[in-house]
Structure 1
Amino acid sequence: MQDKQYSKLVTVAGWAAAGTATFLIISKLFAWFWTDSTSVLASLTDSLMDVAASLINLYAIKVALTPADEDHKFGHGKAESLAGLAQAAFISGSACLLILGGVQRIIKGNEVQAAGVGIWVMVLSIVATLALVAFQTYVVKRTGSVAIKADSLHYKSDLFMNAAVVLALVLAAQGIHSADGIFAVGVGFYIFYGAWQIGKESVDSLMDKTLSAEEEAKIIEIVFQQPGITGVHDLRTRQSGSTKFMQLHLELDDNLSLFQAHELGDKVEGKLAAAFINSDIIIHLDPVSVVKSSSRISKPASA
């Protein structure tokens, strides 16, 4: 994918998330005012956190799309991972508030008013969130953006949370008022789990975790598709923002000329660049007779 397409998709997705969260806040504020439901308040609190997280995402995306400069020669892609960490912190904070509010409601007890209004508003929230998640899923598939993926994970958890709130309101309307507080606590713990997932993925990116095993296997497969490659060693991969970085050593016949070896290296680099759009590739060429690396990958017999 070209940088312009990437920029357009992730920016639109960022604004879509912020706009949806703002709409949900207004709707849930109305529902909370009419119902005095703790579970609706829990959902409202989460939407407030959504807006904050989405605004952070928009700024992070803007920074991540900034071209490499003298001080950041590898680009600014890790701004997306920093945004993911900030989201995890916001989500954890909202989860604490939800759990405390739910426990208080269980202890004190309080009758939910106008549960029907709350149910309709929460159903509307589910529909709006489903539309947003569908669009975010499309953007993640096209771009691989860490920030949008983290945001999408959060909104997916919102779907379960909103469904739980609807069930709590239905039960409250039937006279089971403790359900309101119980579901608020349950939602709080579920959100904690989502925050942990987002935080873990962000830390993995910041710590330069390797690409997936499937992606590394694809790299090796592409390399050995090129005739003349005897082996590969010291493969290193990572991802920053939308850019996939890969470094590898190609093992070549000792008798090749410098020009021939360089030509083989260029062919492999071209194939990898075509398979991994928006990638940064460094290839080192080694005579096969001098290779002593413990991470050597020999050419398969069938290749």
Structure 2
Amino acid sequence: MAGIYIYSEEQPVTEQLLTAGKTLANSLNEKINVIDFSEQDSESFIKKGADHVLCLKSDHPWPESYAQIIADILKEKDPTVVLIGGTLRGKTTASIIAAKLQTGLVNNAFAIEGSGSVIETKRIMYSGIAVCTEELCHGSIVTIEPRTFDAAQDSDHQGDTENIDIQPEAKTITVGNVCPIVHQDNDIATAEKLVCVGRGLSDQNDMKLAEELAEKLHAQICCTRSVAEDYHWLTTDKYVGLSGAKVKPNLYISMGVSGQVQHVAGMRDSKVIVAVDTNENAPIFAAADYGIVGDLHEIIPLLTKELG
């Protein structure tokens, strides 16, 4: 039995993977199968394109403990390809499954395409200066980070659900305490609009320019790593980059951001990028859809004023 199999411990990520899965299924003429833990979610996944949902029924709370069970299921089903949500826990689970199945693993793919019997993935390498294209062997596992694809939409698609009672082993997982990360304001990774500040700001008083623009746009403020870690003008959960948050807003406006490759790696998937910088040769302009060369102290107030 072949087919495309999808798994994530987070429902929104599964819905995003269904978008990638449907395109791939149409190209390969394959069925889409979702592995999930909530029977309540099964109907939603079917409406969004799943042909078959395998609902694993257990009260064990830690997703990593299900790796062996998922590996056993995949070994029996012999999937064409497996898409797993690239969350921190998802990547851990994917690596365990790949090791148990002795199959290929591609992490952080941003594109996956099928033609005939060939499946190719694309992923960013070297902090964004290169794209690696890889051809998958049968049964390979691919992790795709959250928000890489939009969530699949509801339709009149028909499918079925299979309930499987399981009891995962938990020999190596003992959790003494859970301390959730508390974000100041909202999580920038889910923001629709962002105003980003960089070293081009003269001093902390210039943050007011960003705040006024963000207020007019109903946007959140983010920053480069140096603003958070060197200047401490914003908290570390607000910086965007390779080692910070990866964002994908509809609008991203940068103020005084040079656009080094480590920063661009975190925001390159923004739908519209607007850059303001005094240096016409700043790397940020290569990534921007719209660029304004000039003093942000003059330009930002004019933009804010135009927004009414």
Name which structure has the greater RCO, CA cutoff 8 Å, separation 6+. 1
| TM-score for the superposition, normalised by structure 2 | 0.27
TM-score (norm 1): 0.27
The structure that has the greater radius of gyration is 1
Return the structure number with greater helix share.
Answer: 1
